[in-house]
Amino acid sequence: AQSVTQLDSQVPVFEEAPVELRCNYSSSVSVYLFWYVQYPNQGLQLLLKYLSGSTLVKGINGFEAEFNKSQTSFHLRKPSVHISDTAEYFCAVSDYPYSGGYNKLIFGAGTRLAVHP
């Protein structure tokens, strides 16, 4: 079974500062990894995904993440944040190719990013 741990429940940061949101996962098989963002009272929007290939993945809004298989991590980074980045961020894992045909995402508990002026 897979699991996801987001190591920080809240991350406060000043505008234009860099930020890293940490995510670790556990799985006995190869996985797909995702980061989603959720703005207040909205659904989930995909930021980026890792399926295979290059371990550095670039997404929307200037975010990127690095897949580290040996450390089972998939940390999200942004070099300079904006006030508009204030939101809840969710890391998710899927073992879709091995799951028997259905795509079940396992989500972490979320990290609240609060960007201050």
Partner 1 sequence: ETGVTQSPTHLIKTRGQQVTLRCSSQSGHNTVSWYQQALGQGPQFIFQYYREEENGRGNFPPRFSGLQFPNYSSELNVNALELDDSALYLCASGSGGSGELFFGEGSRLTVL
DSSP state of 111: E
Q: Which is nearer to partner 1, 68 or 99 (CB)?
A: 99
Q: Is 13 in the site for partner 1 (CB under 8 A)?
A: no
Near partner 1 by CB under 8 A: residue from 84, 109, 114, 116: 109
Q: Quote the CA–CA distance of 98 and 103 in Å, as a whole number.
A: 9
Near partner 1 by CB under 8 A: residue from 67, 110, 113, 115: 110
Residue 23 beta carbon to partner 1: minimum distance, rounded to whole angstroms = 11
Q: Which is nearer to partner 1, 15 or 88 (CB)?
A: 88
Who's near 95: CB < 8 A, 6+ residues apart?
2, 27, 29, 30, 31, 32, 104
Q: Which of residues 25-64 bind partner 1 (CB under 8 A)?
A: 32, 34, 36, 42-46, 49, 51
Q: Which residues bind partner 1 (CB under 8 A)?
A: 4, 32, 34, 36, 42-46, 49, 51, 90, 92, 94, 96-97, 99-110
